[in-house]
Amino acid sequence: MITTDLANVQAATPVSEPSTIVVKIGTSSLTQGALGKLALATIASLVETLSHLQQSGYRVILVSSGAVGVGCARLGLKERPRTMAMKQAVAAVGQGRLMRVYDDMFTTLGQPMAQVLLTRTDLVQRSRYVNSYRTFRQLLQLGVIPVVNENDTVAVEELKFGDNDTLSAQVASLVGADWLFLLTDVQQLYSADPRYNDDAEPIYIVDKVEQLADLQVGDRGSQWGTGGMVTKIEAARIATTAGVRTVITEGKHPENLLKILSGEALGTQFSAQPRPANARKRWIAHGLMPAGKLYLDSGAVRAISQGGKSLLAAGITEIEGEFERQDAVQLYGPNGQEVARGIVNYDHTELQKIQGHRSEEIAHILGYDGAETVIHRDNLVVHMA
């Protein structure tokens, strides 16, 4: 259900216990004017709000954009760099300045902070994923606010998060956060782009992200940013399926976080879905980058989604993409909807030979013994309906 009438919005239950909060603020909220200079008043309000939450017992993580925008301002550039090398160089210039501003402001309030730079590989490789989790956990136990950004200076295009909306959702999933706040340049999500459509209605509650499939949203609104409402909706999908309640709200008023946590219906709130059973399942669902797709018949879909079974070769009807053993793949039902993700025991050439066949036929077809299952249920994450 999507709620667009504020009168029908029930007051949210105030947070009774301190919980883990991930806050992402975009470049459009951090900067002002055509030259991308820092909006110091907004940053000061953000720092004050996050420090208050931390000192009230919440565990807080900030995902901050702005390194490229700040770098452009320091170098006097009039537009965002287009080449990878230039982006990386400008990000290196801006990141230090951005962290200096954060550190000065947090220090004034007596709140320790830490810089954490991540690349996509840090969450794809299992050992680095676990290490990242342990680092975040230790920082939060120490009462430190981690300030996270993508390591733009060294990240290569094919292994980038692409935008900090996605990064924040991945971090929220990694740490098992309770809330993800996506701070942007609009008050909330609308039924249409309010800049061009006077009939656009504000959206207050979204039970499932899939309900927004037909929503028309605009592209990124700032020349210095990389995201937009499309990436925020995708971030909400990642976070909510990991069990994280997600809110899109205006970044110019960070103090609204306190009101939302007190139960006020501000911004657009996305309901959290049932959380995967363990951290490994969250890693499979959201940390790994799918390398291919498997299409299943209705019997296989029922077996894995309702029966808790492993995926067998007999239920596979079509294979798409090139992948190796132990790669992640997406699983689709006959209706074309994604139903699960998992780690395969066979590469794409082997699966093309054994798809549709019974497990006892695999050794004869391949000429050697293989796993009975294509994806074992321990390596399978089913999307809840």
- CA 121, CA 131: separation in Å to the nearest integer? 12
CB 228 within 8 A of CB 221: yes
- CA 76, CA 70: separation in Å to the nearest integer? 10
Model confidence at 117: pLDDT above 90:
yes
- CA 229, CA 217: separation in Å to the nearest integer? 6
Output the pLDDT for position 350.
Answer: 96
- 164-175 and 126-141 helices cross at what angle (nearest 10)? 80
Query: Which amino acid is residue 96, in one-letter code?
Result: G
Q: What is the pLDDT of residues 210-227, one digit of tens each?
A: 777 666 555 544 443 444
Distance from CA of residue 265 to its chain's centroid?
23
Single pTM value for the model: 0.84
**Using 50, 70 and 90 to split pLDDT, how confident is the model at 159?**
very low
Residue 148, both tokens: 């996270």
Average pLDDT for 170-186: 92
Apex CA 178: angle with CA 284 and CA 59, to 5°? Answer: 110
Output the pLDDT for position 224.
Answer: 38
End-to-end CA separation in angstroms for the chain: 14
Average pLDDT for 133-152: 94
- 40-55 and 84-108 helices cross at what angle (nearest 10)? 60
Q: What is the pLDDT of residues 53-72, one digit of tens each?
A: 999 999 999 999 888 888 88
- CA 259, CA 337: separation in Å to the nearest integer? 37
CB 216 within 8 A of CB 203: no
Q: Which of 76-80, 127-131, 317-321 has the highest mean pLDDT?
A: 317-321
Output the pLDDT for position 195.
Answer: 73
Model confidence at 115: pLDDT above 80:
yes
Where is pLDDT greater, at 7 or 181?
A: 181
Output the pLDDT for position 271.
Answer: 92
Q: What is the pLDDT of residues 237-296, one digit of tens each?
A: 889 988 999 999 999 999 999 999 998 889 999 999 887 667 788 888 888 889 999 999
Q: Alpha helices, DSSP H only, in 142-219?
A: 164-175
Q: What is the pLDDT of residues 81-91, one digit of tens each?
A: 888 889 889 98
The domains found in the chain, sorted by start residue, are 2-281 (3.40.1160.10), 290-382 (2.30.130.10)
Residue 185 makes CB contacts below 8 A (sequence gap 6+) with: 26, 28, 29, 221, 222, 250, 251, 252
Report the 10 Å Cβ neighbour count for 240.
Answer: 23
Mean pLDDT, rounded, of the chain: 86
Q: What is the dihedral of CA 355, 359, 361, 366, to 10 degrees?
A: 60
- CA 61, CA 162: separation in Å to the nearest integer? 19
Output the pLDDT for position 158.
Answer: 46
Model confidence at 160: pLDDT above 70:
no
Average pLDDT for 10-17: 55
Query: Which amino acid is residue 287, in one-letter code?
Result: G
Which of helix, strand or coil describes residue 340? strand
Q: What is the pLDDT of residues 324-355, one digit of tens each?
A: 999 999 999 999 989 999 999 999 999 999 99
CB 200 within 8 A of CB 211: no
Output the pLDDT for position 374.
Answer: 97
Q: What is the pLDDT of residues 180-211, one digit of tens each?
A: 999 988 888 887 777 777 888 888 889 888 77
Output the pLDDT for position 273.
Answer: 87
